[in-house]
Structure 1
């Protein structure tokens, strides 16, 4: 729970005694001089939800004067909401939606899109790309920064719609300790601790830990368990040279969820009349198997050195190694078979077995220099940097439908196309354990990049800012496949390398010290293999070695204002984003593809973050998008003009009010319908689940400050128990529903 903190402290007893002894002297002084000079007492204002600056050193100005849409989600709002994961944190910004996956496959870890484009490969921690199929926890996160619009100059390749940057908690001066214990419905149990200890003048140690064990609300058998620890050391806190050594280690042991059949839901279609009109399945039904599991090991170690030369000049170097390992077996579902349409109890649904054995690695070194200087009457705030990075992803392949070893994976000797009862699934059914075939895909990208950002203060009213990034990258993919006879074939290695040049330019006009009006233009590039480093020899694949990089251009016009004595930030922006060089079928007869496709997204965003009064906090945002594909044709030569999973309207609101020791708060989220079928001329009446219907969700919070050391908080999620589809797979056969009404009671300690 957030409070206004005063810098005033009660006077100690020895100070009171000294004041009493000095009173006679004060009396004589008053007699000598009856009139005392006027004195003004000021105190720093702490606005819990509102951030003044980004922690990203590539931003040269405060957020108010940054010509781009940047939202900072601070830890105070995450604490009020009881948010535990990155996806829960991102509910505080509009324009972001979650993804499920393709047919039998379910996306692993954080999978989402932003402003109409997939963004799952653009998650960063402290400015360094974070790889791995992991559901990210925020126990070690100071704040989440959402940067919208193409950002190639910031982060390099693959940044059509922006990126997410998580800022880690680091040691600081003083002893600041807190802990939280939470219990809730669905066997929810979570404990976190944040311990910061200063040792001497310059040394500090910080330890963040997390443990969670919970069922998934509204689901049978589905269970999540995780543990995390993040130790960190800092030397030289009060000196010009500071050194930080910090790491984070997360272990997850989950039962994955492939969702439920969409039968009976609005929009469901089946050629059989009886199935088309059948009732829904029980939302708690588990269509997986008792052998399903998901184990994730995620580790990263970071060393950071920074030195102040004075006069605003700071040199930094950051080195990181990260490794994430996912081992997963999931049983999903697909088509319904009704051999006897008159007997629903005999209907079955096909099961699909999915195996993931994935290794992600990253090694990075970044050196940057921040400077402030003048050239004549122009003030510069300059950032230059050099980055070296190695990224890798290896996936081992499995027999996904028949089980067995490589030699019999493609034969009829083993289990084929398992099914399970539609309305009474039995997870105890024995299925063949998935076996590795020996086939694999192992790709990596090495990058060397130079960048520079500068803001030129031309006058008190005008600023010009820009950024450029030049990078040389090389992507290499090794792979092996299995023939129909069971032979392992080593494929030719695929390689591609190129130079990329990304840039952005912005102009800021300040009609007042508390406001700005800006215009910005940016260009980014997405070369083949950007996301998974898996190049392809296919002429129809965007990852083909002969493909050019996709180009993304963004134009944005906006304004930002600090109101109510700088307690409230309001902003608005209109933008257009165009991504071209997308692969499209140009001749269905000859099966010829070309990079002529383009996606255009026009939008407007409004936001307000901060305080309305000393006791009333608010964070609100609304985004309206118009998405369209141009010259994009599918396998049948039919044009697709819409963009999947891109809602026209999204909105989010969270507000809380403190009255004495009580704080009441709540929020609502709205997502308009999301289209699955976007092909022109399609008869939606004969398409299964052509869209995800729109939905509202309401949450509530109440907190009580028992003492200065203890705070109790109750969070109720989905207050009105709204049933809604959270994600839908690409075929429309299965869906995951949003969590029903749940509650969590937390005890938060300060010591």
Structure 2
């Protein structure tokens, strides 16, 4: 069935599903009570009203890291999870909001039009997944339908395929589960921010079958002048229990995001310009961003009588992204003039992926094996077109720093170097894995994946066609020692690769088409410790290297060399869960030393620090409930100084920001909350895309939320 028709069918059924259920026809009243009137009765389901709302900040298990249902404590890899309860308590709305509570994960600016995390020193705009499936287009993601966000650190092509150079960000979405879900959230905030979201679910038919609808709409302003945000999303899902051993899960999402591309302020004398935080440098009216996502998912799972688990996941997604921006490109202190540039970019991508996993558990001679075998096939069709903005016949416009917001709209037309291409990427992969338990103390994981990646890129301006094919093996190995059940120590090795087509499938050139893919290798030691039944701690020490980076041969400019490009050493600490019945927390600390190993740039030297990677960073959020009615939240976010780019010429100062919240439960179904961000009104710079595009952090602001469960 076409995904649009499926969505219309589910949308048509949902209103009737949530209507009050009619009472059964009246039965004649017997003169005397029946002898078995008190006999127990099996109920279809029970809806509990008035239960105290207890948010949880930790999870116990994941499927994402191993493709099997595994306790987090048994996975030899650093993983941080942000739950929907933490998201709600902090009034997070975008995926980037979660990054500040993911140790070792930072964020770049993304030119004001896309999510741009930096994982273990590797910046990415493509290493995003939804329920384990690739979601690699450049746009800004929302959290309205999210159950949790998982950061899986370190490259691991065995699980996720190409990319994932520093790790991946995986969103687990809410699904129809046959249970009742009835929640409404309303948010009002500073600068005219308004947002509403709803989560409705009900059971239908057989136990475990149900419908669920998550939806959101937002219309918000910003502390930045003339910067707007409008977005809405709807995600109906249908879950069907097809007998005791088979389940079908269907879902469709329509998401639209419109905003202003805000690229911040330029720099001078090695620091961002200290101008009023609200000042927009460029033309906000000529800097629109529009992103539309239509995605359909179908997951069919079945367990055979001998315990073999089979799972097939099909995802089709259509992405339509356009952005245009007029932004600062430099500042001349001697003249007091800011130079502006402009360009536009349109991307259309159609993704089709299919994954099949088979999992079988068996015991031989006291050794337990959890065997995984699977295959993944994908096809991605991408059209990309860029235009340069011309101010008359010039590609730049000078404006005074005293009034850097212009109303001049450039003329957008192609330059000689602007991209206009059509690409088709095809991938096929097979993988096997064995999770081995040698009694109660020792476990191991061994796996390997083979990817066959083919890329065809046509230059629409010249008619030239480039083709490349990469066949790559990606191993994974890990060893876990558990001296006691609550503590695990591990060592692991994993790697990944990035084809020359690049993470956005548009970087293929005649000079690099024949080169081997870039390789990323991660070596890691760590521990995971359940300090209490609901409190989890983790520690990881790692080295991540980037190899096969292409640079021009100094002795022969017509030839490219492959060299070691980057090394990142780091240590991470994490803590999440419930200390006692009243106190919950989520926090972490990261020490990172990410350096450039080799370069061909005259401005970037070997040994320079990698952009947007602080040496020290930390965060800690606490929620304390005094009683059933009142609670408070207090959070601290610290980030050390970072460089805007790898030339190490412009530095963003370090900062400490304090956030707070108050929670008031008026009744078992109604809760109010007030969130205050940047309580001390600290002036800081949050992120950068270049030395001349640096985003100021928001001043003190607040959200007022109403959360209703009915």
Which bracket does the TM-score occupy, shorter chain normalised?
A: 0.7 to 0.9
1:359 aligns with 2:355: no
Counterpart Cα distance in 2 of 1:369 and 1:628:
41
Deviations 1:58-82, CA, capped at 9 Å, x for gaps: 1452101111111121111111000
8 A contact 2:470–2:517 mirrored in 1 = no
Q: For the Cα contact (< 8 Å) 2:371–2:434, is it kept in 1?
A: yes
Q: Give the whole-Å Cα distance in 2 for the aligned partners of 1:186 and 1:450.
A: 51
Q: Tell me, in whole angstroms, the C-alpha distance in 2 between the residues paired with 1:424 and 1:598.
A: 41
- d(CA) in 2 for partners of 1:472, 1:162: 21
Query: What does the per-residue CA deviation read over 1:155-198, in whole Å, with 9 as the maximum and x for residues that have no partner?
Result: 11112211111111100122121010110111010000000011
The answer as to 2:632 corresponding to 1:627 is: no
Tell me: CA distance 1:374–1:629, structure 2 relative to 1, closer, same or farther (3 Å).
Answer: same
In the TM superposition, residue 331 of structure 1 has moved relative to its aligned partner by 0.6
Of 473, 479, 488, the residue aligned with 1:501 is 473
1:717 counterpart residue number: 677
Q: Which residue of 1 aligns with 2:23?
A: none
Residue from 693, 696, 700 that aligns with 1:737? 696
Distance, in Å, in 1 between the alignment partners of 2:587 and 2:381 is: 38
Quote the residue 1:11 is aligned against: none
Q: CA 1:114/1:632 → structure 2, altered by over 3 Å: closer, same or farther?
A: same
Alignment of structure 1 residues 533-682 onto 2, 5 Å: 533-537=505-509, 539=511, 544-564=512-532, 566-587=533-554, 590=557, 592-635=559-602, 639-660=606-627, 661-676=629-644, 678=646
Secondary structure of 2:271's counterpart equals coil
Per the alignment, residue 214 of structure 2 pairs with: 208
C-alpha separation between the residues in 2 aligned to 1:469 and 1:590? 36
Contact 1:116 1:646 in 2 (8 A): yes
Task: State the distance in 2 between where 1:201 and 1:162 align.
Answer: 39
Q: Is the 8 A contact 1:173 1:237 kept in 2?
A: no
Is the CA contact 1:415–1:432 (under 8 Å) kept in the aligned structure 2? no
**1:295 equivalent in structure 2:** 290
Q: How many residues align?
A: 654
SS of the residue 1:154 aligns to: helix
State the partner residue of 1:33: none
- Structure 2 residue matching 1:88: 3-state secondary structure: helix
CA distance in 2, matches of 1:76, 1:54: 17
Contact 2:390 2:413 in 1 (8 A): no
TM-score after normalising by structure 2: 0.88
Q: Which residue of 2 aligns with 1:54?
A: 62
Partner of 2:105: 96
Structure 1's 158 and 653: CA in aligned 2 closer, same or farther, altered over 3 A? Answer: same
CA distance in 2, matches of 1:500, 1:562: 38
In 2, the alpha carbon distance for the partners of 1:747 and 1:62 equals 34
Could you say which structure has the larger radius of gyration? 1
Alignment of 1:672-711 (within 5 A): 672-676=640-644, 678=646, 687=649, 690-711=650-671
* Partner-residue secondary structure (3-state), 1:434: strand
Equivalent pair of 1:182/1:744 in contact (CA under 8 Å): yes
Q: Could you list the runs of 4 or more consecutive aligned residues of structure 1 that deviate by over 6 angstroms after TM superposition?
A: none
> If the length of structure 1 is used for normalisation, what is the TM-score?
0.83
Rounded to whole Å, the distance in 1 between the matches of 2:414 and 2:346 is: 9
Q: Is the 8 A contact 2:338 2:404 kept in 1?
A: no
1:636/1:240 CA distance change after superposition, 3 Å: closer
Relative to structure 2, which stretch is displaced further, 327-336 or 303-312? Answer: 303-312
Residue 228 of structure 1 is matched in structure 2 by 233
Cα distance, 1:637 vs structure 2: 9.2
Deviation at 1:285, TM superposition (A): 1.6
The equivalent residue for 2:402 is: 423
The answer on whether the counterparts of 1:349 and 1:420 sit within 8 Å (CA) in structure 2 is yes
Does the residue aligned with 2:447 lie in a helix, a strand or coil?
A: strand
> What residue in structure 1 maps to residue 501 of structure 2?
529
**Which position in structure 1 is the counterpart of 2:159?**
154
Q: 1:59-78 residue pairs with structure 2 within 5 A?
A: 59-78=68-87
CA contact (8 A) 1:495 1:535 kept: no
